[in-house]
Amino acid sequence: MITKTTKNKTFTYNVCRTARVTRDVRYDGLIFSGSSTTKIYCRPTCPGKPSLEPNNIYFQNRAQAETAGFRPCLRCRPEVAPGDLIRNANTWEVRHALEQIHQGIPPDAAFITRAAKIKGPAGNIPAVFQAAVGTTLRNYWKTFRMGFAKMLLTDTALSIKDVTRAAGFDSTQGMLDALVNLYHRDPLTFRKPLPVHRQPGLKSCALMLAYRPPLDWRTMLDYFRARAIAGIEKVEDEVYERSFSLNGHPGWLSVQDVPSLNAVLLEVHASGLSCLMQVVWRVRRMLDLDADPMALGSFFREDPVLRPVWLRYPGVRVPVGWDAFEFAVRAIVGQVVSISVVTKVMGRISEAFSKDLSLPAPKGIEKVFPGPACLQGANMRPCGLTRNKEAAIAALAQAVVNGTLDLETTTDLDTFIKRCTAFRGIGDWTAQTIAMRGLGYQDAFPAGDLGIVKALSADGQRLKPAHIRIMAERWRPRRAYAAMLLWMMGRK
């Protein structure tokens, strides 16, 4: 909670008040305002008539507001606001907890046990989380799950049973009762489903995923277009499409930008949608939709090297692979070869080892990329891999299968790099690339990358990675964004 006497590290009361009065989209999802008279809380961009300033209380997230007894505004819909907590989490415990919750995993005793296996004792996760986020794990999970259910009930035509399963509730009646208690209204009156191109025999839905502008959609699509794996993904007519398989449900999705709404339109078509929370989380991570351009601008506008390129590309994001294991395979294949060669080899691996999607899908979306169990003992030499790269992929796949390496949850960056580089054939460049592009660590930095070396070298003096790492210290904790800007320096 932010009051006139609160000493908040990020936003003061006056900043919050100005953002609300001016409906500043830069603060969307970063703060929320609650009216003490109506007990309703809103996004700063809410088009409704604001309450008198003495009646306003400001919150850092939705869970804080709801824990304080406020209910979400039905007009501005706080549940669909962009977030920022995961990417900006300053400890691995907070990031791990947020990522688990956003994938639909409740914060029970098993939640803490799983965290302990990642990096030593994790019993302090609840305390660290509450200190950083301002609410308990349980309250955050409750708010997130309720908001997800509300979003599905409003924006999709999914059955109530499908919404119940997708939102992680044990019973339909329990979900409906909880929503009535929060919104003081029959939740079935929320329904205003977005149009979706339905596919026979599949569960289909469309959702708008909000972001804070600007978003450089062209650069994002160029990245995925150049790396699209044949049969798995494609970019066509400003739309990205790909196949997936989650929780035993195969399917495919499409994403396109809707700049007038500061959102991307996500369509999901699958045999079942119990995986919908994971799909939304992966797409948000993949497109870096929770980035904070205002904070990034404040950070890079003061840097003599990166200021000019930031001013040219203020909507830059860090694109992340859909699946961490799939990207890890790409990173190993990509050692000392061009992007086009990597993409061809990935296509061959897919052709040789992928399973058919076997669902109605757009032309060119036909297979699901093979998982670690399929590749741990595969002969990939005919696909164009060297013996060392094949061995590295096999070792990585085996480690994922037997649980000694977890690419689905995150620890601190240094620990992750240490674990990756323990595999023969995986050096610092590969590990940093996997961390940055596979799992979305915003402080990962592949200092030995040729593009980064060229950008920072001058007068024919080629800098060594060790020197570049020292230079990059000033870009912590946003070195992944610095890497993006360095790669874009030579772009026309």
Task: List the domains of the chain with CATH numbers.
Answer: 13-75 (3.40.10.10), 92-155+158-190 (1.10.10.60), 203-287 (3.30.310.20), 302-316+442-492 (no CATH)
Whether 132 and 61 have beta carbons less than 8 Å apart is answered as no
Tell me what pLDDT residue 444 has. Answer: 96
Cβ neighbourhood burial of 170 (10 Å; 0-12, 13-18, 19+): exposed
For residue 247, CA distances in Å to 175, 353, 485 come to 22, 20, 36
d(CA 214, CA 472): 25
Nearest-Å Rg of the Cα atoms of the chain is 23
d(CA 254, CA 235): 9
Is the predicted pLDDT of residue 393 greater than 70, yes or no?
A: yes
Q: What is the pLDDT of residues 107-161, one digit of tens each?
A: 887 777 666 666 655 557 888 889 888 899 999 999 999 999 999 999 999 999 9
Confidence band for 8, pLDDT divided at 50, 70 and 90: low
**Given a cut of 60, is residue 165 above it in pLDDT?**
yes
Q: Which residue has the higher pLDDT, 93 or 68?
A: 68
- pLDDT class of 96 with cuts at 50, 70, 90: confident
pTM: predicted TM-score of the whole model, two decimal places: 0.95
Q: Cβ–Cβ contacts within 10 Å for residue 177, how many?
A: 12
Select the more confidently predicted residue: 145 or 408. Answer: 145
Residue 469 has pLDDT above 70, yes or no: yes
pLDDT tens-digit map of 184-195: 999 999 999 999
- Report pLDDT for 5: 63
Kindly report, residue by residue over 429-443, the tens digit of the pLDDT.
999 999 999 999 999
Residue 306 has pLDDT above 90, yes or no: yes
SS (H, E, C) 365-424: ECEECCCHHHHCCCCCHHHCCCHHHHHHHHHHHHHHHHCCCCCCCCCCHHHHHHHHHCCC
